[in-house]
């Protein structure tokens, strides 16, 4: 007999039921470093704006937690929250106000954000996932055009640290977590169980039927208290 078991593998942290997927803490740690570099880059030019694109196809877990970890971001855009471009809560108006006040601004955008405003690529990757248009390059152009429209100088930069973040060794927290998951998976298989995934739920290592994982994934970032903390940190209007 062959026992089929799994572990929660995705950097986006969008697997249902579990507390987090392995690699997520390392990802946040490295994303924060990219944001720190973006802040220095933005502040080094008159009316500097730096856009940082982070991973997150359908959820904003990486973007929101990196922003909360950094507390150095002025605007965060995620797939779960529509981007407002007109009126008093416009993202562009907010950025212009930030630049007038602080002299520079940092924007963090999840790769799956704002896709409703981008051209459909009509392509799929080898895994069958829809290929998204590059929101970072698009957002850079939109911000530049809006500042020009309002006769404001804007020295804008774009950073995509995705592959740098993916390639770093796991930190101590994720290394320990991987050990717990591996031991739980092997222990379950050797005990006669199959078709389950090891995972952390309420900080306890458990075995979850793979069908339940499929039914609850991908999950979305809860637009509640966590998002309220992001808005309080960035000062953005939504």
| Residues tagged active-site | 12
Between the alpha carbon of residue 211 and those of residues 9, 132, 215, the distances in Å are: 16, 27, 6
Residues whose CB falls within 8 Å of the CB of residue 87, separated by 6 or more in sequence, listed in order: 93
Q: What is the DSSP letter of 126?
A: T
CA distance 27 to 164: 10
Question: 129: closest CA among 5, 12, 4?
Answer: 12
Chain centre distance of CA 212: 24
Tokens of 210: 């793979």
């Amino acid at each position: 007999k062959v026992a089929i078991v799994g572990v929660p593998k995705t950097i986006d942290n969008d697997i249902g039921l579990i507390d987090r997927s392995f690699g997520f803490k390392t990802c946040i740690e490295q994303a924060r470093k990219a944001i720190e570099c973006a802040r220095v880059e933005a502040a080094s030019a008159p009316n500097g704006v730096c856009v940082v694109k982070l991973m997150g196809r359908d959820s904003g877990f990486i973007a929101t937690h990196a922003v909360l970890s950094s507390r150095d971001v002025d605007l965060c855009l995620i797939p779960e929250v529509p981007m407002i471009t007109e009126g008093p809560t416009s993202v562009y108006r907010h950025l212009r106000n930030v630049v007038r006040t602080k002299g520079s601004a940092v924007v963090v955008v999840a790769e799956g954000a704002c896709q409703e405003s981008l051209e459909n690529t009509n392509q799929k990757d080898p895994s069958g996932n829809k290929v998204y248009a590059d929101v970072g390059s698009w957002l850079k152009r939109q911000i530049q055009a809006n500042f020009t429209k309002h006769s404001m100088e804007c020295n804008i930069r774009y950073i995509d640290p995705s592959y740098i973040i993916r390639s770093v060794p796991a930190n101590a927290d994720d290394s320990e977590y991987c050990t717990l998951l591996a031991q739980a998976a092997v222990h379950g298989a050797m005990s006669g169980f199959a078709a389950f995934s090891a995972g952390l739920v309420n900080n306890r290592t458990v075995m979850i039927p793979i069908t339940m994982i499929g039914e609850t994934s991908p999950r979305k970032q809860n637009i509640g208290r966590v998002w309220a903390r992001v808005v309080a940190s960035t000062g953005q209007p939504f």
